[in-house]
């Protein structure tokens, strides 16, 4: 199978971690008789330096012409003082919009080898943490009307949260389809006891659930979901929710796993082309020092194989290679533990590569 992958190395540690992921993808291609063709794309601070804007039109077109996009990280203090509409992060927003990516999918998985890093009690951790938050990405209050006016002698601000049925239905389907590829359990999170948008959300989700009888479905209010994630995260498989709630819950979920450097993510739309990236930032303080953890990016490549390329065996092989590297006691600085072996970014990538082969 031939696939075209747009590669955005980005800023800071981005080039280092992406290079390790590409090594792993090349090994997968050789092992399973695929061909991955890479196209370099400038986005973020590096694009500002080179082209004067965070995502030139030509670069977006390269992404749209690909089967999927692999991203390292963008941004850094070097570009803190550029105009707001030219900041590196604007490139990411433009990319999501241009690719029509409305679903952000962030796994929360605690690797057993790193159990001590979780802030939760051992009695909770030993039950396992392995779920994914499917967050609506381009609707809701973040994309509604924002106004600040003077009313009765004081400033008054208003933010509009709006959702249409079709927006809820398309993200709901992503949630159900994701559950079908995992353990067949879906929790829909809303605030239907207060918000009209949530009541519409629940109405649409209840209509959808009849199309997926194999999936165990439940509703949960967002405040309870926030509590349950720390009380008993093992109960969850897939959580689907709107933009604001998903932003908060996915950050909470990432913290209970103990290491942000291990967590991948995907952003998907109606087509098979998705955007895959680790959730951490560009870490400019360690850029170029071979200290970065490439595992989040390598696992993002595994998600690409699973969700965009329909290559579940290849994704399993990558994840199993990561497991073996951790079992061997290899650790980058951010996940270092007593009794383990400290390795650099390249060495961790090489180790995962060796276990894959």
User: Span 21-25, mean pLDDT?
Assistant: 98
Pair 126, 251 in one domain: yes
> Can you say whether residue 178 is alpha, beta or left, with left for phi > 0 and alpha for psi between -120 and 50 degrees?
alpha
Rounded Cα–Cα distance for residues 189 and 308 (Å): 25
User: Span 179-189, mean pLDDT?
Assistant: 96
Which of 86, 63, 76, 64 has the alpha carbon at shortest distance from 15? 76
Over residues 27-66, the pLDDT tens digits come to: 999 999 999 999 999 999 999 999 999 999 999 999 999 9
Contacts 24+ apart (CB under 8 A), 61-66: 62/6, 63/6, 63/8, 63/95, 63/98, 63/99, 63/273, 64/98, 64/99, 64/273, 65/4, 65/6, 65/39, 66/4, 66/5, 66/6, 66/39, 66/273
The pLDDT confidence band at residue 230, using thresholds 50, 70 and 90, is very high
- Residue 357: its pLDDT value, please? 78
Question: Scanning the structure block, which residue is given the tokens 């497991």?
Answer: 323
- Helices 14-32 and 295-303 cross at an angle (nearest 10°) of 40
- Pairing between β-strand 146-151 and β-strand 185-190 as defined by DSSP bridges: unpaired
CA-based Rg of the chain, rounded to a whole angstrom? 20
Task: Tell me: pLDDT of 203 over 90.
Answer: yes
Pair 134, 243 in one domain: yes
Most confident by average pLDDT, 76-90, 183-197, 243-257: 183-197
- Residue 258: its pLDDT value, please? 83
Asked whether the whole model's pTM tops 0.85, one would answer: yes
Q: What percent of the chain has pLDDT over 90?
A: 90
User: Span 237-249, mean pLDDT?
Assistant: 97
- Residue 8: its pLDDT value, please? 98
Task: Tell me: pLDDT of 272 over 80.
Answer: no
Domain boundary among 201, 223, 256: 256
The distance from CA 220 to its chain's CA centroid, rounded to whole angstroms, is 22
Instruction: Please give the C-alpha separations between residue 66 and each of 18, 46, 95, 173, in angstroms, as whole numbers.
Output: 17, 21, 13, 24
How many domains, the chain? Answer: 2
Pair 240, 127 in one domain: yes
- Mean residue pLDDT across the chain: 95
Which of 147, 145, 138 has the alpha carbon at shortest distance from 160? 145
Domain boundary among 233, 256, 279: 256
Pair 129, 202 in one domain: yes
Domain boundary among 256, 287, 317: 256
Task: Tell me: pLDDT of 168 over 90.
Answer: yes
Pair 222, 278 in one domain: no
Q: Which DSSP category does 268 fall into?
A: E
Pair 242, 286 in one domain: no
Cross-strand partners of 63 = none
- Residue 143: its pLDDT value, please? 86
What DSSP element (H or E) covers 254?
helix 243-256
Phi first, then psi: give them for residue 33, nearest 5 degrees.
65, 45
User: Span 143-161, mean pLDDT?
Assistant: 94
Tokens at 55, concatenated: 């995502």
Pair 74, 151 in one domain: no
- Residue 266: its pLDDT value, please? 94
Question: Scanning the structure block, which residue is given the tokens 């002698």?
Answer: 153
- Residue 97: its pLDDT value, please? 86
Over residues 248-264, the pLDDT tens digits come to: 999 999 999 988 889 99
- Pairing between β-strand 216-221 and β-strand 185-190 as defined by DSSP bridges: parallel
Pair 189, 204 in one domain: yes
Supply the residues annotated as catalytic. 142, 191, 223, 247, 251
The whole domain housing 239 covers 119-256
- Residue 313: its pLDDT value, please? 96
User: Span 162-166, mean pLDDT?
Assistant: 97
Pair 126, 232 in one domain: yes
Pair 176, 289 in one domain: no
User: Please, what sign has the CA dihedral across residues 135, 138, 140, 142?
Assistant: positive
- Residue 259: its pLDDT value, please? 82
Pair 251, 264 in one domain: no
Pair 249, 155 in one domain: yes
- Residue 28: its pLDDT value, please? 97
What CATH number has the domain bearing residue 66? 3.40.718.10
């Amino acid at each position: 199978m031939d696939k075209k992958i747009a590669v955005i190395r980005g800023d800071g540690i981005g080039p280092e971690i992406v290079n390790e992921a590409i090594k792993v993808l090349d090994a997968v291609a050789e092992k399973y008789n695929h061909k991955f063709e890479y196209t370099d794309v400038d986005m973020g601070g590096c694009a500002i330096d080179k082209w004067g804007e965070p995502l030139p039109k030509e670069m977006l077109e390269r992404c749209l012409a690909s089967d999927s996009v692999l991203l390292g990280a963008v941004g850094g203090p070097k570009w803190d003082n550029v105009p707001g509409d030219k900041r590196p992060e604007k490139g990411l927003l433009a990319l999501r919009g241009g690719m029509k990516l409305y679903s952000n999918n962030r796994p929360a998985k605690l690797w057993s080898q790193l159990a001590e890093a979780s802030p939760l009690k051992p009695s909770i951790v030993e039950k396992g943490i392995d779920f994914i938050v499917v967050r609506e990405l381009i609707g809701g209050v973040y994309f509604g009307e924002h106004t600040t006016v003077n009313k009765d002698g004081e400033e008054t601000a208003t933010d509009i949260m709006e959702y249409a049925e079709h927006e809820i239905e398309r993200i709901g389907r992503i949630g159900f389809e994701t559950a079908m590829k995992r353990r067949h359990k879906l929790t829909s999170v809303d605030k239907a006891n207060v918000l009209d948008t949530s009541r519409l959300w629940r109405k649409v989700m209840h209509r959808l659930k009849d199309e997926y009888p194999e999936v165990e479905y439940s509703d949960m209010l967002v405040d309870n979901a926030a509590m349950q994630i720390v009380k008993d995260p093992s109960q969850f498989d897939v959580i689907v929710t709107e933009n604001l709630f998903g932003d908060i819950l996915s950050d909470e979920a990432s913290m209970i796993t103990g290491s942000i450097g291990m967590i991948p993510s995907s952003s998907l739309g109606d087509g098979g082309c998705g955007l895959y990236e680790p959730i951490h930032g560009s870490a400019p303080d360690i850029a170029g020092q071979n200290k970065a953890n490439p595992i989040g990016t390598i696992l993002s490549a595994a998600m690409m194989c699973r969700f965009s390329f329909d290559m579940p065996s290849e994704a399993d092989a990558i994840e199993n290679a990561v497991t073996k590297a951790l079992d061997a006691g290899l650790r980058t600085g951010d996940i270092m533990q007593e009794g383990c072996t400290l390795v650099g970014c390249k060495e961790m990538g090489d180790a995962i590569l060796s276990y894959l082969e």
